Structure 1
């Protein structure tokens, strides 16, 4: 029985993965906001599922909540076989958390950084550890401004999204250098997925999703099939996928240096 940890595991693709691995007989830890959604998810599985399922309530845009969850996992689990970072909340405008961090940066990178780096020991204890990071691959090497990570100057949704994605690629360099046996995957769907589009997405995006998703979108259970294959047959090292199709890793001329600079900047504020 493996231990699968999923952030954002009460909705969409995260919930689909939780359902799959509970049904397959594995231990699943879900981190999210809604205990009611988690209870409903578990109730649909095998009668023994509650004995193999744990819910941890957290606002993953808050560094303090991420720290609390990480410490709970370190205190209560001996290993993590798969860490799935799927939590999402879309913001098209710059928003500050009560801790003073830009909210999208905090959710989509600072929290992920804490999970990957602070749980490295539990991942190392697994025979075949894998991290699946829902961070769409393929952004430019220069998409990150290492001198303005929280985008005090010139915030746009497009720039913010690209910076988070590039930061998560650099995080993979740090993670696999620390643990050569780790598989670290940046992953994004290859087509529209029917989901709730949680966040401040605007009327236009909501309207388009409402019209297009039933026609062109795939169900979350269908969309996560490539992720199941990745988790069940992990390969050490970094890789990127859109759906089931491998994508080339973004290669910059200073990737290792940028990864070290990123880690140094983040450690100073955490």
Structure 2
């Protein structure tokens, strides 16, 4: 159980209606933080919000409803946050998805890539000014060991040629690592740190988006090596609140290493790829924004 004092801190947690996201939000509220939950489903979000308020005895638990697979919703969520808050000390990108079949977002993007990677990229971009103004502040990217199986396929980021759930998920999680390291360099000297983590093999409903052999393998992994959401949230909480990490940035942490820094995959340190991915990501986001403007006319 994390014991850091978070009184006076504002924390935003995406994907906070269930699993380790809800547990993370609950523990931050127990530490005294003002917690802003970003959830896709209103009913689930409101139920989780009420549960967290009761369990933490902290009424400073807010709720923003947004489907982060849609970049327009990411923009709206950021705008809604800024209307109410002038400070943000911890931004936790926890929301994620895994899809057994290829899904396309309204932006024309592959759903896994959009939700797990582009949404955090854009949300950070939109809130980074508030983070800088609140420094020392932290950005926490909940990635996965699955990044070790990932490869950035620049020729097919939308997964149109041959969709594979393993390829799509691994790519999105590797992209998060590249994003972490590049952003850490760009934020150097600002007082805002950014780190990524693997929470462990957490037993939750996350695997429900898969089917067939992939679903079976996931269930077996959970059965033989899974941890509960309470343990799964500990690495996130450690990276988000530990005083010893106040100046640590651009690192990867793993539950399997008791929350301590550990190397990510060898390909994840390729500076050329991470810079190219950044440029491609900005282009995809700009394209989405232009499309939204055109539709509004």
Fold in common (TM above 0.5): yes
How far does residue 7 in structure 1 lie from its aligned partner after superposition? 0.6
Of residues 108-117 and 200-209 in structure 1, the stretch that sits farther from structure 2 once superposed is 200-209
* 2:45 equivalent among 32, 38, 51: 38
1:54 aligns with 2:62: yes
Once residues 146 and 49 of structure 2 are traced to their aligned partners in structure 1, the CA distance between those partners, rounded to angstroms, is 35
Which residue pairs with 1:5 in the alignment? Answer: 12
Q: TM-score, normalised by structure 2?
A: 0.80
CA contact (8 A) 1:187 1:242 kept: yes
Counterpart residue number, 2:269: 251
State the number of aligned residues.
269
Deviations 1:174-231 (A, max 9, x none): 42233223221221123x2121125421155555666664664222112211221211
SS for the counterpart of 2:48 is: helix
Higher alpha-carbon deviation: 56-65 or 228-237: 228-237
CA contact (8 A) 2:149 2:170 kept: no
- The alignment yields a C-alpha RMSD, in angstroms, of 2.7
What is the aligned partner in structure 1 of residue 5 from structure 2? none
Partner residue, 1:184: 194
- Which runs of 5 or more structure 2 residues have no equivalent in the other structure? 1-7, 289-297
Q: Does 1:23 align with 2:30?
A: yes
- Identify which of 232, 237, 241 aligns with 1:232: 241
- State the secondary structure of the residue aligned to 2:185: helix
Does the alignment pair 1:91 with 2:71? no
**CA shift in 2, pair 1:214/1:8, >3 Å:** same
State the Cα distance separating 1:134 from its structure 2 match: 1.5
* Structure 1 spans left out of the alignment, 5+ residues: none
TM-superposed deviation, 1:158:
2.2
Aligned partner of 1:242 in structure 2 is 254
How many angstroms does 1:58 deviate by? 1.4
- Summarize the alignment of residues 136-147 of structure 1 with structure 2, pairs less than 5 Å apart: 136=144, 139=147, 143-147=151-155
Structure 1-normalised TM-score?
0.87
1:5–1:80 contact (8 Å) kept in structure 2: yes
